A and B are shown apart, each in its own frame.
Chain A
Amino acid sequence: GENVEQHPSTLSVQEGDSAVIKCTYSDSASNYFPWYKQELGKGPQLIIDIRSNVGEKKDQRIAVTLNKTAKHFSLHITETQPEDSAVYFCAASITRDNDMRFGAGTRLTVKP
């Protein structure tokens, strides 16, 4: 089955700096890669996703890149703000199977 690895487990940055979180996946058939943000006491919320027919996607301060050959994808947050502090999860799935596997999560702290 699919195995998703996520690094780093914790990340601390100064406000205004960029943050990068990286994930690798094992199943070359995976074609959908969402990123979720989980704030304290809440469920994960989708912030951006990318499908395997696209190499990069951007939404304001957030961007994701996908390298299908290397089977890795990354989340980039620019101009970080304290409210970006949360746990971020990457995930991978084969959409026909509807089965999503999550990375272990990255705790991002943005220091003001």
Chain B
Amino acid sequence: DAGVIQSPRHEVTEMGQEVTLRCKPISGHNSLFWYRQTMMRGLELLIYFNNNVPIDDSGMPEDRFSAKMPNASFSTLKIQPSEPRDSAVYFCASSFKRGTYNEQFFGPGTRLTVL
């Protein structure tokens, strides 16, 4: 299994530009999570999906952030317009929720720099 795949691995953009981060979860997993990691705030859950349906987006910082999961094998996190304070590493994770089993597998992350 290739694990969780994220693209791009690095993104440098200018303030005001639209940024789209992509994630392919592990095949067969039914839950997907987007996290943001910064030195100041650590690892923060932004949003998660169960069976492609957004369950909790309370961690999304502002309306500039949006996430979609059109099917079980693909999700996007979009920032529009981007700002320098959005610079962080964004992780996608997936899990197979069955009963009480809840192990999350993380992707390698996308390092976003907004100039």
- Considering only CB atoms, which chain A residue lies closest to B106 in the complex? A43
Once A32-B100, A95-B100, A98-B102 are accepted as A-B contacts, the answer to whether A42 and B108 lie under 8 Å apart by CB is yes
10 pairs of residues in contact across A and B, judged by CB atoms under 8 Å: A32-B100, A34-B103, A95-B100, A98-B50, A98-B102, A101-B45, A102-B42, A102-B43, A102-B45, A103-B42
Cβ-defined partner of A99 (8 Å) among B45, B100, B105, B107: B45
Q: Which 8 A-B pairs have the closest CB atoms?
A: A43-B106, A102-B43, A95-B102, A104-B42, A95-B100, A44-B106, A43-B109, A43-B108
B56 close to A99 (CB less than 8 A): yes
Cβ-defined partner of B43 (8 Å) among A34, A45, A49, A89: A89
- Considering only CB atoms, which chain B residue lies closest to A96 in the complex? B100
A79 to B81, CA, bound (A): 49
Q: Is A31 an interface residue (CB 8 A)?
A: yes
Interface size on B, residues (CB 8 A): 25
Q: Please give the residue numbers on chain A whose beta carbons come within 8 Å of chain B beta carbons, in ascending order.
A: 31-32, 34, 36, 41-46, 49, 51, 89, 93, 95-96, 98-105
Contacts of A105 in B (CB 8 A): 42-43
- Considering only CB atoms, which chain B residue lies closest to A52 in the complex? B100
Q: B107 → chain A, closest Cβ, in Å?
A: 5
Contacts of A101 in B (CB 8 A): 45
B55 close to A49 (CB less than 8 A): no
